[in-house]
Chains A and B, each alone.
Chain A
Amino acid sequence: MVGLKWWQMPLISYRSWLVVRRNLMVFKKTWLTNIGFNFIEPLLYLTALGLGLGAYVKEIQGLPYIQWIAPGLIASSAMWATAIETTYDSFMRMKYQRIYHAIAATPISLEEVVVGEMLFGTFKSLLYGSVFLLVIFIAGLVPAATALLVPLVLVISGLIFAELGITWTGLVPKTDHFSYFFTLIITPMFLFGGIFFPLEGMPAVVQAVAWLTPLYHSVQLIRSLVLGQYSWLLFGHAAWLATFAVIFFRIPLFLVRKKLVQ
C-alpha cells in the first residue's frame, strides 16, 4: 500500500468489515441520542411543506403535494445522515480520537480503514432512508410495491455521499471547514435536487447542474419506485450513480493517506 501511485488501486480485503463492526458497536451505544435529529428533520419538512405549502399547491404532476415530496425526502434524509457521519464523525475519529492510526497499526491497512468508514456511511444512508420510507409507508404515502427496491438505491447513493464526505474530510484541516461542504454542496443539492418542485420549470442551466449531482438521480429513482412510475430512464439514473460511485472510489483513499502519512 505504501508507495502506490494515486491511480493504482490498493488491495482491499474483508478486513474493512472489522472497521464497520467497530463503528456499529459504538453506534449501538449512542444511536438513541443520534437518531432523533436525522428523523425529525425530514418529518418537519414533510409536515411543514407537505401540509402547509400543500394547502396552496394542490397537485404536482397529478399527485397531492405531500405525496410528491415524500419519496424525495427519503433520498435527502439518507444523504444528510451519510454526509454528517463521514465529515464531522469521521473527522473526530481520524483527528481527535486517532482511531485510524490505532487500527492501521494492526494487520488492517489505512485504505481498508477508509473503505470501512465509507461502508459505515453507506449503512447510515440505508438505515435512515429505510426508516423514513417506513414512516411514509405508515402514513399511506407509498402506493407501489417497487418501493421495496429503494434500499438498493440508498446503498449506491449512500456510497457516493460517503465518498464525497470522506474526500472533504481528507482535504480540510479543521472541522470549521465542514460548513463549506454543507453550504456549497449538500444544501444546494437538497434544494435543487428535485425534491420540492419539478426542475422542468427551472432555467436550463439549473437543470443541467442538477443533472450533474448525485442527489438528483437518487431522488428520481426513489420517487419512481415509490410511486410506481416506470420508464427506461430509470436505468439511466442507476447507471449514472453506479458510474459516479466507481470513478470516485479511489479519491478518498488517496487523500486520507496523503493527510495522515508523511
Chain B
Amino acid sequence: MNWAVVAEKLFKRYQALEAVKGISFRIGSHECYGFLGPNGAGKTTTLKMIYGFSPLTAGKLLVLGMDVTAELRSIKARIGVVPQEDNLDPELTVLENLLMFSSYFGISKEEALGRAPRLLQFVEIEDRANTPVEELSGGLKRRLTIARALVNQPEVLLLDEPTTGLDPQARRLIWDRLLHLKQEGVTIILTTHYMEEAHRLCDRIAMMDLGEILAEGPPDQLVSLHAGREVLELGGAAKQREAIEKTLEGLYSHSLVVGESLFLYSNNGKELWYRLQQANGMISHQLLRPTNLEDVFLKLTGRGLD
C-alpha cells in the first residue's frame, strides 16, 4: 500500500486543552478518508496538522512520504486545501482568484490561463468567471474554493467541513464533484459532522470524539459491527419504556436511551417489530429503520453527533 498520510501518536495541546490525544492512522493513496465527529472532536486540528498550519505537539506525521516538520514547502506544493471558512480574495474576480492562487505555486500565467477554464467548468461556475467574488453566494464561493484548491493538480485534497452551511442542492453538487475527483485518483481527506456525507463519500472513516479516534473502518462495516442492521425507536413514559425493554429482552443486541426515546438494536428488526405489536403498551411513537453512523456514534459515546 502506498500511503498518502501516515500519522503515529499525534498529540496537539493548546495551553490547557488537549485537542488531539495521541491518535494514529494511515490514509492510502486514492482513498477517500473522513474524520467524522461533533464540534470539538479534534477533526479540524488534525486536518490543520496534516496541511502544516498547526505544528504538532508530539508524534510523527508523514504526508506523501515527507515529514511535515521538515519538508512542509514540498508537501504544500502537492496538496490542495479547502478550509472551513472561506478565504477567497473578495475584491478579485473568480478568474483572477484562480490566476493569483496559481502564481503562489509558481505556475506560469499561460499555464494558469490554460487550466482555469477547465477548473471553472468542473465546479460549474464558468459563466461567473468575471464576477467579483464578494458578489457570489455561499455555495458558489465554496465551489470556487474547491476549484482554487485544484490549481496545482494536487495528489491530496483536504477539505474541512466542505458542505457546512450550504443548502441541500449545493451540498449534492459538491458531493458529486468530490466523487468525480476520487474516480480520477485524487486522495481526499475530509472532516464532517454529517453522517450522510461521511457515508456517501468515504471509503473509510475515523470516528472522533474528544481528541480520540473511537472507531475506524469502512462506513458499512462500522455500522454493522457496532450497531447491527436495524434499530427500533420507541417513545413513551419511562415506565413503559422499561417494561418494553424487559419484555423484548434477548431479541436485541443492545439498548440505549436518548432523551425520551428508547433505541433497541438488532439484526432481526422484523422479529422485534412483530413482538412489539403483541406486547403493545402505551407507546407514543415507534419506528423501525436501518442503522447508520449516528447509531455507531451514539453507542460509542452515548451522545448524538450534533
Chain A interface (Cβ < 8 Å from any Cβ of B): 1-3, 15, 18, 21-22, 25-26, 29-30, 97-99, 101-109, 261-262
Contact = CB atoms under 8 A, between A and B. Distances in A.
A261 B72 CA distance: 15
Given A1-B72, A2-B55, A2-B72, A106 B87 contact: no
Interface string B90-104: 111000100011011
22 contacts: A2-B69, A3-B55, A3-B69, A18-B103, A21-B103, A25-B96, A29-B92, A98-B85, A99-B87, A99-B89, A101-B53, A102-B88, A102-B101, A105-B53, A105-B76, A106-B77, A106-B104, A106-B152, A107-B76, A107-B104, A107-B106, A108-B104
B16 to A, nearest CB: 12
Contacts of B103: 18, 21-22
B87 A97 contact: yes
Interface string B104-125: 1110000000000000000000
Nearest to A113: B104
Given A107-B77, A261-B53, A262-B14, A26 B91 contact: yes
A29 B69 CA distance: 38
Contacts of B81: 105
B55 A261 contact: yes
Interface residues of B, number: 30
Contacts of B96: 25
- The prevalent SS among residues of B at the interface is loop
B87 A107 contact: no
Interface of B: 14, 51-55, 69, 72-74, 76-77, 81, 83, 85-92, 96, 100-101, 103-106, 152
A135 B136 CA distance: 41
Contacts of B100: 21-22, 25
Contact of A105 (B51, B91, B92): B51
A97 B89 CA distance: 7
B158 to A, nearest CB: 9
A3 B85 CA distance: 25
Contacts of B69: 2-3
Contacts of B73: 107, 109
A107 B105 contact: yes
A1 B76 CA distance: 13
Contacts of A22: 89, 100, 103
A3 B69 CA distance: 8
A23 B89 CA distance: 10
Contacts of A99: 87, 89
A261 B52 CA distance: 10
Contacts of B90: 97
Residue from A1, A3, A25, A262 having most chain B Cβ neighbours under 10 A: A262
Nearest to A104: B53
Residue from A2, A25, A101, A102 having most chain B Cβ neighbours under 10 A: A102
B89 A26 contact: yes
Residue from A22, A105, A107, A109 having most chain B Cβ neighbours under 10 A: A105
Nearest to A3: B55
A71 to B, nearest CB: 35
B106 A105 contact: no
B92 A103 contact: no
A22 B73 CA distance: 20
Nearest to B70: A2
Give the 4 A-B CB pairs with smallest separation, nearest first: A98-B87, A106-B104, A102-B87, A105-B81
